[in-house]
Amino acid sequence: MDKTLIQQAAQKIKIAGRLISFTGAGISVESGIPPFRGPDGLWSRYDPQVLDLSYFQRYPDKSWRIIKEIFYDFFGKAQPNPAHQALAQLEAAGVMHGVITQNIDNLHQEAGSRDVIEFHGTSRRLSCLSCHQTWEFQPEMLASLPPACPRCGGLLKPDFIFFSEGIPPLAYQRSLTETQLADIWLVIGTTGEIMPASMLPIEAQRNGALIIEVNLRPSNYTNTITDIFLQGKASEVLSALAEAVLHP
Ligand SMILES: [Zn+2]
């Protein structure tokens, strides 16, 4: 971790008009949530077709067994790490406006972040495929599978997007607005491979935002749009950055 670069980034953040963070799977790895892709990713162990909407509707029972195991039994045990906490501190101090996240794990909220734009939806809500009512997730909803809508008996689906689904419209709109409003984008734990999320920092940079990137390894962004690359573990870099901004 380069202390001079942390100081440089902290100086920029202190004079920022509007700072937005944009997070991906990399910020939750230290909370024990493995990424989906790659050799150790979840899709090397599970068949991703359970998140294909037509497969899910055809085999809700089989799909839900796997979805429950991954997203509720396993993800449900994860706790926010110092990277999530540092972002919540920056928001509470009025330094950061909010977080746009590609993650569906609710860890930003659990760390205390208040304005979280969930670009891919969330596992903490279920939505009814028949009447479209959404329900706050409660563990007892999964007591028998597949879960049924308390109102109409329809099939409930996690309220995060499956492979063929579009981005939730409000989250999409708010994120695009931030590509115009925010003058600093703090891009964390995302390598820029998943469309259309990957376009957001590019659009922000095109609109004049400064891009500060935090990643373990260089990404698609590093040599193209990134102004300051803070290489290292998200927890270490963000703790140091929050410290340099809030308690210099
Ligand atoms: Zn319903």
Segment 143-163, tens digit of pLDDT? 999 999 999 999 999 999 998
pLDDT for 41 beyond 90 = no
Instruction: Give residue 156 CA to ligand 1 midpoint distance, Å.
Output: 8
Instruction: Note the pLDDT of residue 40.
Output: 79
Query: Residues 84, 97, 120, 132: which is the catalytic one?
Result: 120
- Work out the pLDDT band at 42, boundaries 50, 70, 90: confident
Instruction: Give residue 146 CA to ligand 1 midpoint distance, Å.
Output: 13
Instruction: Give residue 130 CA to ligand 1 midpoint distance, Å.
Output: 5
Instruction: Note the pLDDT of residue 23.
Output: 98
Whether pTM exceeds 0.75: yes
Return d(Cα 75, Cα 123) in angstroms, integer: 9
Instruction: Give residue 155 CA to ligand 1 midpoint distance, Å.
Output: 7
One-character DSSP codes across 87-131: HHHHHHTTS--EEEES--S-HHHHHT---EEETTEEEEEEEETTT
Instruction: Give residue 110 CA to ligand 1 midpoint distance, Å.
Output: 28
- Work out the pLDDT band at 248, boundaries 50, 70, 90: confident
Known catalytic residue at 120: yes
Residues with CB under 5 A from ligand 1 (ion): 128, 130-131, 149, 151-152, 154
pLDDT for 6 beyond 90 = yes
Instruction: Give residue 95 CA to ligand 1 midpoint distance, Å.
Output: 41
Return d(Cα 27, Cα 81) in angstroms, integer: 8
Instruction: Give residue 152 CA to ligand 1 midpoint distance, Å.
Output: 4
Return d(Cα 244, Cα 1) in angstroms, integer: 14
Mean pLDDT value across residues 181-204: 96
pLDDT for 37 beyond 80 = no
Instruction: Give residue 116 CA to ligand 1 midpoint distance, Å.
Output: 26
19-37: b (≥16 Cβ within 10 Å) or e: bbbbbbbbbbbbbebbbee
Q: What is the dihedral of CA 84, 89, 95, 98, to 10 degrees?
A: 40
pLDDT 10s digits, 65-116: 999 999 999 888 899 999 999 999 999 999 999 999 999 999 999 999 999 9
Instruction: Note the pLDDT of residue 92.
Output: 98
